[in-house]
Structure 1
Amino acid sequence: MKLKIGVMGSAAKVNDITLKERAREVGREIARHNCILVNGATTGMPNEAAIGCREEDGFVMGISPAMDLDEHIKKWKLPYKEYDLIVYTGQGFMFRDILNIRTSDAVVFLRGSVGTLNEFTIGFEEGKVMGILENMGGISGFIDEIIQIAKKETNATVIYEKDPKKLIRKLVQEVQKQNRRTHKKSIKMVG
């Protein structure tokens, strides 16, 4: 079964070409690892990653806050052409955030603000494998401090990496390692 890697981050318009390219490289690497890219079917960093994924013929799944495509485009003014599949929740952003994280086997964070912080805290509480692409700015630059301030132990794994290629490779390896461990625990000997 293909792994699903979520890409969460700033939905604000991206003007910095270097940041755009780094986000697209995240998407390309997700496709190169034969994983599905999952995001909030939104603009900004997540959409740049979706574009990169599609450049490598990867599969992109978006989870929309809208009820249907019409609302997705007209009310929310969100992109759709980069997506192979969009799930319309009709439940707004908060519910979408939960579905984004729960749908993903691992999650990458690129910049972001309050919504991205919400997605991170959901993933942290639920013990997800998460990657922070360093030097992107936004809330993702403060994740380590947030973890220290929270002083809460969870089963989450947080990987920090400057290189998009290395980050995706490390995330995939960690999910596979955890899946092997879980699989071994669930096997019962019959004899």
Structure 2
Amino acid sequence: MNDQKRGLQAVPGQRMSLKIGVMGSAATGQDTETLQTARLLGEEIARAGCVTITGACPGLPLAAAQGAHTVGGQVIGISPGLSLDEHLYKYHSPAEFHDVLIFTGSGLMGREVVNIRSSDIVVIVGGSSGTLGELAIAYDEGKLIGVLTGTGGITDVIPQILKACQKETGARLIYDNHPQKLIEQLLEVYRTEHYQHPSCFCMACETVETQGDLATVRDPVCGMWLDPKCAGTTKKINDVVIYFCCSACATEFEANPSRYSVT
């Protein structure tokens, strides 16, 4: 496949490039090997035809931005500041290697939500408490998440953290220590499976994401447990009502009904 086409979304009618958010340690003084790995990650994102999103901060996200910029990729930074002056002088954050800075005025923690919601795919590189917050948001919102293992920080303990959470959100985790292999796997999963996973805001009422007292039916396409009253749409086959979280899942079911169990 042509490198510049690999990042295009597989969703019919959508031609925007995928946006991959790189979330990681903003601390200075990272070791040379980890910085080089983050730069390679940015390069692979750009070569795949995807847009790189960072928190417009120093450290590993900046290294990824540099890598993407070096090979001609587009880089968007989500700034905690209200303006370029605040970005540079209040938060001491870089502007180089970014094509666009979006000023949120939300501070360091507030902009984490914008980082995640602006990204189709999230990649975790190293990181400590700030990156842990971004991981939590991405996981709660059912994102496709890549973990670049071997980069230290929370990447060493993410499996244990998520196991302790005991919460199913529809998020998908992929682990690899090689930037190119990680990006290839993430794009493959997104194009073939995860693009069907609905946004947690796609419904008019709140979706119950785990099987509890209210979540008594399951969307056969994406597997999400639902309160029947909050289903996005339904379909009746042989007197059996099938519930879907959104119209996209219903459309997929109608196109390939034999692929899905409705029992």
Give distance in 1, aligned partners of 2:93 and 2:85.
10
TM-score by length of 2: 0.69
| Matched residue, 1:117 | 132
Deviation at 1:93, TM superposition (A): 1.6
8 Å Cα contact 1:8/1:116 also seen in 2: yes
Counterpart position of 2:53: 38
State the partner residue of 2:158.
143
Deviations 1:62-98, CA, capped at 9 Å, x for gaps: 0000000011001111000110001000111222100
CA distance in 1, matches of 2:196, 2:167: 26
Q: Quick one: distance in 2 between partners of 1:128 and 1:179?
A: 10
- Aligned position for 2:95: 80
CA distance in 2 between counterparts of 1:156 and 1:172 reads 15
CA contact (8 A) 1:66 1:89 kept: yes
- Contact 1:65-1:89 within 8 A present in 2 as well: yes
| Structure 1 contact 63–96 (Cα < 8 Å) conserved | yes
Match of 2:18 in 1: 3
Structure 2 distance, partners of 1:164, 1:66, is 30
Q: Which one of 101, 104, 109 corresponds to residue 94 of structure 1? A: 109
Task: Name the CA distance, whole Å, in 1 between partners of 2:68 and 2:60.
Answer: 12
1:181 is displaced (CA, Å) by: 7.5
Indicate whether 1:132 and 2:147 are aligned. Answer: yes
CA–CA separation in structure 2 for the residues paired with 1:149 and 1:181: 23
How many residue pairs get matched? 189
Amino acid paired to 1:85: V
Letter in 2 for 1:179: Y
| Bigger-Rg structure (1/2) | 2
Q: What are the equivalent positions in structure 2 for 1:47-62 lying under 5 Å apart?
A: 47-62=62-77
**Equivalence for 1:172:** 187
Unaligned runs of 5+ in 2: 1-15, 199-247, 256-263
Contact 1:14–1:20 (Cα < 8 Å) also in 2: no
Counterpart CA distance in 2 for 1:60 and 1:185 is 35
